[in-house]
A and B are shown apart, each in its own frame.
Chain A
Amino acid sequence: MYKKGIGKLSAHVLLFLFSLSILGALSGCVPHTELNEKAIILAIGVDYKEEKYKVIFQYYNPTGIGGRTLVDNSQPNVLTSKGEGDNVYAALEDAAFRCGREMMLGVTQFIVIGKEAAEHSVEKVMDFTKSFFQSHPDMLVTVAEEEAEKVLEVKFSEGIVSTQKLKFLLTNAEKSGIVALPNALELFTSLQTVRQSSALPRLRLLDSTQSDASEDGKTLEISGGVLISEGKAVDEVDIEVMSGLRILSCKTETGTVTVDYKDEKISVGLVNIKTTIKPSFENDQLVFTVDLRSGGRFLSPPKGRYENENDELEKLCGDAVIKRMESAVKQTVFKYGADPFLLEKTIRHYDYNLWKKVEKNFGEYLKNAKFKFSSHIEIDKLLLSE
């Protein structure tokens, strides 16, 4: 039988305990941090000098809002803080201590790694995110041509170089087929492969007199990329190589190619790019058959009519893309035995026995590998006859 007295008593005790915990949770009686006590970090720059990590982070300044407009122009809405330590985590803590706020990495969108830090170890730089699971796996990672600190300190009219500006720079580059969006998750994944290779976009700081330049006459551009092999930066590569790598990574769908044809520079936009790479093993050599298929649309319409010569134009476009891919392979795979477009994954997927055969000396096999390229680009004929 149900004894109401005792049942009610227990219910009241439980209700009391529950209410007490709710009160504690919702009131200010528990340790908590107000918004203006937090350093809501938007971007992080990491440098490595004299065996110490130096960190600069941009954080959101809540006092920069609250005026008549959403953002009070009289106050900078983004501030920076610097710190140093034996590892990136310690340096971040030092920077947080110096600005007197508590770190919050939940909205961090950008990490800029200084040249020396990247050459020392990209893996060690990224290690700190393992202690901060609140950081988003989609945040973008780039390498500065010199020091990361300089990149994050450029002052544009809207404040210090905004994360949005850096993001737009990379997004536009991605749309034009120059670089792949370098998100942290892909970098983590690459660092787990045998060759620990990747290619990150390289940011260059330039003097500029243009209207979009910063207050101190600086502007930022993507000057190419940095090749990561065995977990650290080993070389700088140009835009052509980055573009080739992007196509070889089989993830791109759009791109642009410009060819010389009958004294004209004709630009063709590539759409629905599909790249397939198939591995095989011939004469103790890895052989990769790369096939590119894509649609094409004229971006700069040709002056003459070339309906009958479409095949030739398509071949020219295909050759231009193949040249990019060849250049990418030469600069990365052949030169360093690097694997920035994850050939390991391709070999595992198509021929696991072959992977077991080459796994131990994969770097050497890559250096001596052979690539066979082919392309099939079909330019949209409707756009030719205006």
Chain B
Amino acid sequence: MTYTHLLRLALPEVIIVITSVIVLGVDLFILRGSTIKARFTAASLIATLGCAAAIFDLVYAPQQAILLNGVFLSTPLINTVQIILLALSILTLLLSSESTFTDHVGEFVTLILFATIGMMFLVATQDLLILFLSLELLSLSLYILTAFNKHSPRSSEAALKYFLFGAMSAAFLLFGFSLFYGLANSTSFTQIAAAIQASPLNPLVIIAIVTTLVGFGFKVAAVPFHFWAPDVYQAAPIPAATLIASSSKVASFFIFFEFMAIALNGTSGAASWHPFASGLHFAAGWTPVLALIAAASMILGNLVAIRQTSVRRLLAYSAIAHAGYMLLAIVAHTPQSLSALVYYVTTYALTTIGAFAIVGVVEQQTSSDDLSSFNGLSRRAPILSACLFVFMLSLAGIPPLAGFFGKFFLFVAVVSTPGLVWLVILAIAGSAVSLFYYLQVLKRAYVTNPDDDTPFRTPPFTQLIIVLLAASVILFGCVPNLLIH
């Protein structure tokens, strides 16, 4: 194995790194004097091209390899997830091209690309060290992106909270990883699994499991590690919030699943409910803890979302609830539930990007993301509100939109694991409650009269992207097979 080989394997990541350098250079040296709009356009265009090149490489020259006992992998599934991540990053970049909140354009776009690199490495490893490093690369990029709107004190405050929370979670995670390393004398998932198999469930392993769960729980914003999410979703610049809510979720959930299913396979325990035999049956392991976290996320996310008046916070709590649904797939940890999870998180990410883009446009026009800003949206921006209609109903899981099939596949996968029906019933009840607050947004848009009737001046390019997103949500709903394979 040579370095050339390694570089060839990591070519998509290398392309993104080079792209980020080009973006930075072009912005600093060539477009110094141009308008912010031109710089954003140029930067996001170059970045988009870079991502597209990486996708091209992944599609047309896919590699298959496992390097250094799982430090770096390339399999069809991982390639697919990487393509999804790159596509989501492209959408985020294209939607950010109309932003005006900062004049550090090159840095902003570069950070988005760095986050993307972090995510790509994150999903492509089965090694604790690389996992932690790439997770930190992702997290640090996101902290900075959150703080990027220097005109808004709330942006900085949210970023600080996010950073503190993240730092502590990272400490937990690293602590847990160090315990695993001590146990297995290796950082490889498979070695850890073998070591745990040999001596199951001593207190050290339990502590390691719980600390790891805290770290991952922070990344996916599950209760009770979710407190950062509403503040960040509300205060971060729209592109940053979009990135946190979409592609970061995809990458985190994927690696969370892989870690739990591979490294901790021997200690899964049980969290089954047999209503006529022994009631709730907990066998020690990580699944009961995760099941509790999932249940708490679904309950709290859906209930608190009802009370929100800020649409961004509403989306944050909805994200917490959705994290609860997705955790069910990890609780089940079957191959079937992995594919259901990937489908769910991808369609969820698409929908969330669209919803955030609409929130961004509304914010730009009314300078508020309050529910009342959406009053009479259907008259002020009919196309946008039609897309909002699609996104909200997809989030609520109404057929034939993508959100419905995501939930459907996920719940089917979970139900086929015995004893988990109670979680699915809870999830379905939560979905029913969620319809209430999604419909409240739509009611504002379609029923309530607007305070002023002036039509929105939506940037045509942004509108085009939003319409494409809505179309893809409908398409994946009508033809779910497109994504499954």
A and B found bound together: no
